[in-house]
Structure 1
Amino acid sequence: MEEQEQHKREQGKERPVRNRPHITLSMIVCNEEKRYLRQALMTHRAWIDRAVIIDDGSTDGTAAMCKELLHGIPLVLVQNPVSRFSDEVSLRKQQWEETLSTNPEWILNLDADEVLTPDFGVLRDDLLSGMEEAIYFRLYDMWSETAYREDMYWQAHMYYRPFLVKYRPGMVYEWKETPQHCGRFPLSIQHLPYACHPPRVKHYGWAREEDRVRKYERYQTLDPEARYGWKEQYESILDAEPRLIPWSD
């Protein structure tokens, strides 16, 4: 534990001088070794300057994979011995506070099964050099490796949402205080000047049948009365023939 704290302090020192806007990748992971973590980190590592990762109770090689794939990039890796996801807002607050402790410039908040499209790399510096302090993209719920779902229950890609936020040290950050579906960022960032941009986020969390079953069962356990989510959407997770749209680059 002492060694981990020392590592965190060293990584949180003043940022190195860069000729480009500085991005800290902020991420929560849990048992991602055989899922999409490798693809996500290998895609994003060229665009980031530091990473802050909360390993929320993994029992596989997730932590080692993070260290391997982010070798050469300053990494703060915090390992929770027991998962805190049943109270998601406390976990998100932990992620946020650990990220802010590194004195970030821009925070790219992605989950371990979310992958930005390559055009972000082309537009990266231009996107972060304007007056906006929050950058919004569209997220696509992939129902396979090559298609996303679109119907009355699954329309995330029709709206823009924040994934990149510029840190304001003096700002008071308030959260949606719910144990599920609390959001990846504090509510306060809604007050920041923002812009919507073309890069997209491919969310692979639903792309495999076993993951859909696991998530359905998790929501039935953590939110059985759908107090924090949408009951009909929960039930639709296991639809046998959902409407899928081929992904197009």
Structure 2
Amino acid sequence: MTEHQDNSRPHMTLSMIVRNEEHRYLRQALETHRPWIDRAVIIDDGSTDGTVSMCREILQDIPLLLVENSTPQFADEVSLRKQQWQATISTKPEWILNLDADEILTPDFGVIRDQLLSGEEDAIYFRLFDMWSETSYREDQYWQAHAYYRPFLIRYRHDWDYEWKETPQHCGRFPLTIQHFSYACHVPRVKHYGWAREEDRIRKVERYQALDPDARYGWKEQYESILDPEPRLLPWLE
């Protein structure tokens, strides 16, 4: 019996949006998370590389719903997130782990997985660290996401009505409704590698300049700080 067939543990579905991730962090993310999940729902938002094949390869013996968008929808993030949500809840999930393709949970999650998912809370919160390299994360007045806990894992409540933050950028990975769920904050951390390479930082700046030039949905000073030549970095400690 493979790990995803273990009916004795709480059932968890990985929900993810991917786009041209073949040469970034997708393999590391899927290989890290696959022992903990029982199903995966992935929206491929118009990849032109081997992302889809990589998903199928790594998750080949795990039930997988893979939706391929012929035209990228990332310019309207809330529509893309709604698509991800609807595809995920169509599988009747028990727990939903919502991670991006460049976000990786620390291994200590695996040790307490079943304990967390067997608790009374309907949402599990972790801290996210914006990695600025493979070994350090950024911390300054503009970059301190790790100072706060945020939801990455929720129990799906089919009897609730869900509403979204209706903005084309920075709409959140889950519906706003989950803010009313009972929740608990826990020790495992999320390493976010979206800023870890200079080429990724440049690409993000170009994206924000195109999609949010007036910083209507984000923070102008933070956008401008992305390419700081000497940001304050702290070493990542396991």
Calculate the TM-score normalised by the size of structure 2: 0.98
Deviation at 1:65, TM superposition (A): 0.2
Other-structure match for 1:93: 82
Q: Do the aligned residues in 1 keep the contact of 2:5 with 2:38 (CA within 8 Å)?
A: no
Q: Which residue of 2 aligns with 1:3?
A: none
The answer to whether residue 56 in structure 2 is matched with residue 57 in structure 1 is no
Q: For 2:206, which of 217, 223, 232 is the aligned residue?
A: 217
Name the aligned partner's letter for residue 171 of structure 2. Answer: C
User: How much has 1:137 moved relative to structure 2?
Assistant: 0.1
Cα separation, 1, equivalents of 2:139 and 2:22: 28
Structure 2 distance, partners of 1:133, 1:239, is 39
- Please, which runs of 5 or more residues in structure 1 have no aligned partner? 1-14
Contact map agreement 2:15 2:96 (CA 8 A) in 1? yes
CA distance in 2, matches of 1:81, 1:235: 32
1:132 to partner: Cα distance? 0.2
Partner of 2:108: 119
Q: In structure 1, which of residues 136, 139, 143 is the aligned counterpart of residue 128 of structure 2? A: 139
Letter in structure 2 aligned against 1:205: G
Shift of 1:47: 0.1
Structure 2 CA distance for aligned equivalents of residues 103 and 28 of structure 1: 18
Asked if 1:105 corresponds to 2:94, the answer is yes
Matched, 1:167 2:146: no
| SS of aligned partner of 2:76 | helix
One-letter code aligned to 1:107: I
- Separation of aligned partners in 1, 2:204 and 2:72: 15
Q: Does 1:196 align with 2:185?
A: yes
Q: How big is the alpha-carbon RMSD for the aligned residues of Structure 1 and Structure 2?
A: 0.9
Q: Is 1:238 aligned with 2:238?
A: no
1:107-135 deviations in Å (ceiling 9; x for gaps):
00000000000000000000111110000
Query: Match of 2:60?
Result: 71
Contact 2:78 2:169 survives alignment (8 Å): yes
CA shift digits 1:46-76 (9 cap, x unpaired)? 0000000000010000000000000100000
Deviation at 1:17, TM superposition (A): 6.8
Matches of 1:203 and 1:44 in 2, distance apart?
14
Aligned counterpart in structure 2 of residue 177 of structure 1, from 166, 174, 179: 166
Report the Cα offset of residue 170 of structure 1.
1.1
Is 1:41 aligned with 2:27? no
Q: 1:236 offset after TM fit, Å?
A: 0.3
Deviation at residue 159 of structure 1 after TM alignment:
0.1
**Residue identity opposite 2:18 in structure 1:** V
The answer to whether the 8 Å contact 2:205/2:223 transfers is yes
Paired amino acid for 1:19: S
What displacement does 1:181 show? 0.1
Q: Residue in 2 aligned with 1:20?
A: 9
1:216 to partner: Cα distance: 0.5
The letter for the 2-side match of 1:223 is D
Aligned letter for 1:62?
T
Using a 3 Å threshold, how does the CA distance of structure 1 residues 171 and 17 change in structure 2: closer, same or farther?
Answer: farther
After superposition, the C-alpha distances for 1:116-164 in whole angstroms (9 at most, x for unaligned) are 0000000000011111000000000000000000000000000000000
How many equivalent pairs are there?
235
1:26-51: CA deviations, max 9, x gaps? 00000000000000000000000000
